[in-house]
Structure 1
Amino acid sequence: MKIAYILFDNITWLDFIGIYDPISRLKSMGYLPDMSWDICAYSDKKIADSFGLEIVPAKIKSSLANYDAIIIPGGFGTRELQFDTEFIEWIKTAGIDTTKISICTGSLILGAAGFLTDKKATTNFQEYEALKPYCKEVVNSRIVEDGNVITAGAVSASIDLGLYLCEKWAGQNAQEEIRKKMDYRG
C-alpha cells in the first residue's frame, strides 16, 4: 500500500497527525510492512499552519496516479484551495481506483475535484453548507464511507479515522492493538 498525504498552507496539523500516527503503526508494528507514504504538496515551500509550525514536503506537484490512497487533511487553507484550479487539477491526477480520504474540511478539496459527485460525505459541522454543492448528501456522522471515498468530520475525528483505516486495511486485531499502544480510549 502506498499513500500520499496532501499538505498545504494553513493546514490543521491534528487532522494530519491524528490519522498519520495510527496508520504509520501498521508498518512499524508489522501489520503492513510494505506500506509506504509520501508527504506531497503543490507548493515547493515549507508547509505551515496558521501558528507557524512547518513541515517540508518530499514530493512537489508529482502525479498522484500511482498511489493506493490519498489523504487530505483540513484547515483554513481548504477554503481558498477549493477554488484554486491549478491545485484542484493536481488533485485530479489521483487514479480512478485510488481511495480518496479526507479529514474535516479536506472534503471541500475532494468535492472541488469532483470526487464526491453522487456520494454521501461529511466535513466539519461548521462547513456542511459549503460541502452541499459537491455531493449527493452531507451526513452528520463522524466517518462516512461511500465507494472509494472516505470522509471524516471535525478535527478530533482524525484519530478515529486512522483507527478505522487500520481495521479496514489490516483487520480488527490490528486496529485494537494499535489503539491500545496509543492508549486511545475514544
Structure 2
Amino acid sequence: MLAQIILFDGFDLLDALAPYEVLGAGGYVAGGALQVEFASFEGAREVRSGINGLKIPATAAIEPRRADFMIVPGAAGPVSGDAPDSIPSLLSRAVSSGLPDVLHQAMAKPGLTMGTVCGGSVLLGMAGLLKGRHATTNHLGLDALAATGAHPVAARIVDDGNLVTAAGVTSGLDLGVYLIERHLGPRIAHAVEAMFQFERRGTVWRAQGPEPRPW
C-alpha cells in the first residue's frame, strides 16, 4: 500500500510530518506493507511550509492511481485576514491550482482513503468535495468548514467512510494510528503506539448508533 502526504506552499509542518512518521512506522512494523511519500501537484520539488518557511522535498507527483491513502494537511499562518501569508490566503491559492482536480479523482477512486489534518478538511471543502459529508477540523475552523457545505463535528477523529478527518494539529498522530488500526490491524497500531509512547485519544466519531439527546 502507498500513502501520499500532500504538500502545497504554506502547509503546516506538523500536520504533514506527524502522519508521515506514524504511517511510516506502521509500514515498518508491518514488514513493508505500507510505504509513505511526500507528493505535490507539481511533482518532485522543495515545498515551502508556512510561518517559518522550512522547505520539505516532495519526491513525487500526486497520483491517485498509485495511492491507497492520501493525507491533506492544513496551512500555517495567521488564522484570519487576507494577508498573503494568512491561512485563508494559503488555502485559497492551493484551491486555485490544479490540486482540486487531482483530489476529485482521488476521492472517486474505489478503495482510496482520503485523510485530512486540521485545515486540510477546509481545503477539501473549498474544493467542493465535502458537501453533505461529516468532517472535523481545528476548533477555530469549524464555521469555515460548515460554510463549504460539510457537516462539522467537534471530535478529534471523524470517520465518514473513504474520508477520515482529524482536528487540530497534533491530531495528525491520532489520524495515523487510526488509519493503521483500520487498514493494518490493531496489533500493528498498538506496536506503533508503544514505539512512539503515544496513545490515540478519544472516541472516533461515526454517524452510527442512536442519536444522543442534549445534556
Same fold (TM over 0.5): yes
SS at match of 1:134: coil
One-letter code of the match for 1:79?
L
Counterparts of 1:75-90 in structure 2, within 5 Å, are 75-76=75-76, 78-81=90-93, 83-90=95-102
Instruction: In structure 2, list runs of 5 or more residues that go unmatched.
Output: 77-86, 202-215
Secondary structure at the counterpart of residue 105 of structure 2: coil
The 3-state SS of whatever aligns with 2:147 is helix
Partner Cα separation in structure 1 for residue 191 and residue 60 of structure 2: 31
Q: Write the distance in 1 (CA, Å) between the matches of 2:24 and 2:196.
A: 12
Separation in structure 2 between the aligned mates of residue 26 and residue 16 of structure 1, nearest angstrom: 16
Aligned match of 1:131 in 145, 164, 186?
145
TM-score normalised by the chain length of structure 1:
0.88
2:191 equivalent in structure 1: 177
2:173 aligns to what? 159
* Alignment-derived partner of residue 53 in structure 2: 52
> 1:83 deviation in Å?
3.8
Compared CA separation, residues 124 and 51, structure 1 to 2 (3 A): same
Tell whether the 8 Å contact from 1:82 to 1:112 is kept in structure 2 after alignment: no
Q: Which runs of 5+ in 1 are unaligned?
A: none
Q: Which residue of 2 aligns with 1:115?
A: 129
Q: Deviations over 1:145-171 (max 9, x none)?
A: 112100000101111111111211122
Query: What is the one-letter code of the residue matched to 1:86?
Result: G
CA deviation after TM superposition for structure 1 residue 85, in Å: 4.9
CA deviation profile, 1:7-36 (whole Å, cap 9, x unmatched): 01111111111111121112211x152322
Higher normalized contact order (CA 8 Å, seq sep 6+, divided by chain length): 1
AA of the residue aligned to 1:160: D
Correspondence for 2:104: 92
The higher radius of gyration belongs to 2
Partner of 1:15: 15
TM-score, length of structure 2 as denominator length: 0.77
Runs of 4+ in 1 over 4 A off after TM superposition: none
Change (3 A) 1:83 1:24: closer
Deviation at 1:75, TM superposition (A): 1.4
CA contact (8 A) 2:23 2:36 kept: no
- Aligned match of 1:41: 40
Matched residues in 1 for 2:48 and 2:153: separation? 30
